[in-house]
Amino acid sequence: MTTVTAGQDTEAFRGVWRALNALSRTATPELAYQLAHQAIFLRSWPRPNGDGLPRSFGPVEPALRAAWTRLGLDRSMGQGAPKGGQARLLCGDADRSLAVLIREVAGVEEPGGLFDACLDRYSAQLGSGGDYYTSRPLARLMAGLAVPRTGERVLDPVCGSGRLLVAAERRAREPGSATGALHLHGRDIRPEARRVAAMNLMLNGLCHDLGDRAIDSLCAGPTQLSADVVLANPPLNAKDWGHQELSGDSRWSLGPPPKGNANFAWVQHALSELSSQGRAVVLLPDSATRRPNAQEWHIRRRLIERDLLAGIVALPPRFFPHTRTGTTLWLLAKDKSANPYWGRNSRVGEVLFADARWLSGRADQGGYRLVDEEIDQVCGVFASWRGAPAFQAVSDSAVKDASWWYSASTDGIARRDFDLGPGSYVRQMAVDSGVSVPEEAPERPVNELYECFDHAVTISRQLRHVLGAESMGRADT
């Protein structure tokens, strides 16, 4: 797909966003974006006889659904529009708004990048808690840390829009890497997200397996895929994750996850999906590195004692526009000895901590961000540490600049009572080296308060969605 810059996005797609905003006011925003993604896909997907956008003089929503069925897309990724009351209510102003949206989408001369831009817009406007699509920079960073190799099996158990799978394929095809395809597998609990992932992967020309239906990966259990790479951006601090139903599950070999959140359930699920030499990158809240919960402490301890943790990256504050919860990336590995899957350097008994908060001084209206050069720097340091192929050429000076990363021994981590916060190790290294470092504010209680706020927003949004669906159902009768 063609890459579109922010300025080009604003100018070329202005009419589409205006029409999408109008549709969001006359239908639910979630439904508006579902229909927008489908219309954009039909415009962007190369077809021998032109695009598959409907041409209709009657109601537009049934015509869009008919176009979806005519092309056979309902068999591969599900219905192109919701059935039942919501679909029947798309009449009057809402149906006219959809017609305008389809005309605007059809009028975009270069639709490459429009689908990606719509994913970003959804997350910026409607993102909350775990309901958002992984950003392109985060997907690029996670794939770069995992370093997927040609022919490997890659799994995303919470695939959302499929961006992590797309980024993994692009990473495997980077200059200097062997040419060839990955085996891409994804699962998601939401039928709408599964459909978006299928569209995204198809637009990028990638073969994929998204299962035969939407599933909850935690409740369904491992796929038995024996994946070489697992990439996961699960909902942060999910509270209702099936703790009681999954009590005694065989995946909890490091200890039962606490009832209050699913963070370490996802860590252990990722480990259960890996082959004997597999590796995973999982996004977790910063609080998971040091929260004084006894169950979490025991899991962190066993991760270190069994040498399953390879590294942790602290991301910049407010990295996600919709939340102020601090976040970290956890690199897990079943085998850190020198081997083709890991790299030339044995790192048994070591963990690499990187504090990317020191790298990013760039902030926009949504928060701090990492640019491509900084992403390459993080991935390059980890690749050099492992002796794996670098994401891109990184200068020796960038690797030697140890002001923001530190390789700690598992014994040293044990002496710190299994505190896994990157800032603890990087700051201590800087102090020992005589480097001046800024004072770090005691943010832990504040971050935990923000996490509570995020959970409250998620519940409120779910309640509004349920009440909205009920009210539309009553109007339909």
- pLDDT for res 292: 87
Query: Where do the CATH 3.40.50.150 domains begin and end in the chain?
Result: 136-432
CA of 52: how far to CAs of 37, 67, 102, 351, in Å? 13, 6, 11, 51
Measured between alpha carbons, how far is 466 from 473 in angstroms, rounded to an integer? Answer: 11
Task: Say how many C-beta atoms besides its own lie within 10 A of residue 11's C-beta.
Answer: 10
264 within 8 A of 299, measured Cβ to Cβ: yes
Q: What is the pLDDT of residue 163?
A: 97
Least confident of 102-111, 292-301, 423-432, 447-456: 447-456
User: pTM, whole model, 2 decimals?
Assistant: 0.86
Between the alpha carbon of residue 350 and those of residues 169, 282, 386, 408, the distances in Å are 28, 19, 11, 6
Q: Distance (Å, rounded) from C-alpha 23 to C-alpha 32?
A: 6
| Encoded tokens for 227 | 């994946």
> How large a percentage of the chain has pLDDT more than 90?
58
Q: What percent of the chain has pLDDT over 70?
A: 77
The alpha helices in 27-152, defined as continuous H runs, are 29-44, 60-70, 73-77, 85-88, 93-106, 114-126, 136-146
Task: Examine the pLDDT at 139 and tell me if it is beyond 70.
Answer: yes
Report pLDDT for 463: 56
Which pLDDT band holds residue 117 (cuts at 50, 70, 90)? very high
Identify whether the C-beta of residue 279 lies closer than 8 Å to the C-beta of residue 387. Answer: no
Average pLDDT over residues 312-329: 86
Query: If pLDDT is split at 50, 70 and 90, which confidence band does 438 have?
Result: very low
Residue 53 has pLDDT above 90, yes or no: no
Say yes or no to pLDDT of 476 above 60. Answer: no
What's the token pair of residue 11? 């100018």
Using the predicted structure, report yes or no on whether residue 99 has a pLDDT greater than 60.
yes
Residue 324 or 239, more confident: 239
Which single residue is written with the structure tokens 């599950």?
Answer: 249
Mean pLDDT on 234-238 = 92
What local confidence, expressed as pLDDT, does residue 46 receive?
Answer: 78
Matching residue, tokens 């958002």:
132
| Pairing between β-strand 274-285 and β-strand 327-333 as defined by DSSP bridges | antiparallel
CB atoms within 10 A of CB 107: 11
Angstrom distance (rounded) from CA 115 to CA 42: 10
Rounded distance, CA 404 to CA 29, Å?
41
The pLDDT of residue 178? 53
Tell me the pLDDT tens digit for each residue of 190-212: 999 999 999 999 999 999 999 99
The pLDDT tens digits for 370-424 are: 889 899 999 999 999 999 876 555 555 556 666 889 999 999 999 999 999 999 8
381 with 394: CB under 8 angstroms? yes
| Closest listed residue to residue 282, CA positions, set 324, 319, 327, 249 | 327
Which tokens go with 398? Answer: 């960038």
Question: What is the model's pLDDT at position 84?
Answer: 41
The second-level CATH assignment, the architecture, of 136-432 is 3-Layer(aba) Sandwich (3.40)
Q: For 122-145, what is the mean pLDDT?
A: 87
**pLDDT of 89 over the 60 cut:** no
Which of helix, strand or coil describes residue 312? Answer: strand
Q: What does the pLDDT average to over 418-441?
A: 68
- The secondary structure of 320-340 as a DSSP string is STT----EEEEEEES--SSBT
For 363, the enclosing helix (H) or strand (E) is strand 363-364
| CA dist., res. 436 & res. 454, Å (int) | 34
